[in-house]
Structure 1
Amino acid sequence: MASTIRQVLQHSLEDLSKDELKKFCASLLDRERGRASGQRRALEDKDEVGIADVLVSTFTDAKAGSVMVETLRDIECNHIAVKLEAKLKSKVESAGSRPSANSTPSLNVVILARPGEHFVDKHRSALIQRIRRIAPILDKLLDRKVLSQEEYDAIMAKGTPQDQARLLYSGALTASGTTGKDIFLSVLEESEVHLLEDLRRS
């Protein structure tokens, strides 16, 4: 049986830690200041199922997905945002051009351009200077199709990690846009945990 939007959101919320879930709720309230008092009561003491219910009941099936993706990015849980966006996109594509009587034609609005500066752009200089072991990162970017073999070889030919990171930024990350940057950030979440924590505190 196909998952509902509510279930997709619930499963992504379950990927958050307790602290991240608190940040998510706080950021959601901050986004919707006009309705904050009512939402605060609605979100109090809610688990992942309850929060998913609030999202859908407040924003509808059509918009709840995009709101959650943007809120995850606001709290810099980009790896979870990437996975959720992929699930939402898959759901839209599987629906195809066969809308049912109960479907929402505007479901495609769950895939929205993200406003604001991307984390890896915001911290470009620090990441270039402080990533020391870039080869394993490049390996994963190659596996995930952010880099071509030619781009990989060109970057690896550079003499220092800083030069390698600069070429990565100016080439593949620029060309691949937000999707490539999202994947790059998810790789950093795996291999540069302490660096990212430091940047988020700064």
Structure 2
Amino acid sequence: MAPPAAAVEGGQAPQGRQQQQQGGFGLTGIIRMVVFWYFASKFFSPKKPTEPSALISNLFQKAQPLDMWLYLSEHEKFNDFGSESSLVWHETNIPYAVWGPESTRTLSLKYHPTESLKHNGSLYAHVFFAHSGFSPDPSDPEYQPQAAFGRTHPVVTYLPKSKADKKKSLLGSSPDSSEAEVTSKVWYLLSYFYN
């Protein structure tokens, strides 16, 4: 009878191991789910906005009077504030952030380009604003960086003319295709106002 008892013990031993393995698989499965959830929440969670290091505010108060200077130059970097030939428009006491019919300002002028500008040169508009009475020139001893700002915009941008779509049927011949090949290719540079 000893052999059947051994058989029973031998039969129960694998079943106990299976129960231990199932219990271990459950704990391992839970750990895997927690690790997967952690990494998924890190990768797919919405990004938290970073706190600004300093609060941002306007340089100018509403309705504060400003002076404006508009210079035209062929150089992208501008520092010739004393040149009267580059100064196109100067206006004083423009109220800041006051919108109305009197807020619109226009200027019509005739500009005579230089030879380099006629030969595919670039022209830039340099616009500067400053508190009334302050200078926009950084080399001025009374210049204050918190009282002025400026921007540079290209006036003319040269773009090539759009190309015609030339497709030819390879299966058949068309009589007008030879005429299209004979015409010479003429390239035009068109100037566009860049905003």
TM-score under structure 1 normalisation?
0.22
Report the structure, 1 or 2, having the larger strand content: 2
From the CA coordinates, give the structure whose radius of gyration is larger: 2
TM-score under structure 2 normalisation?
0.23
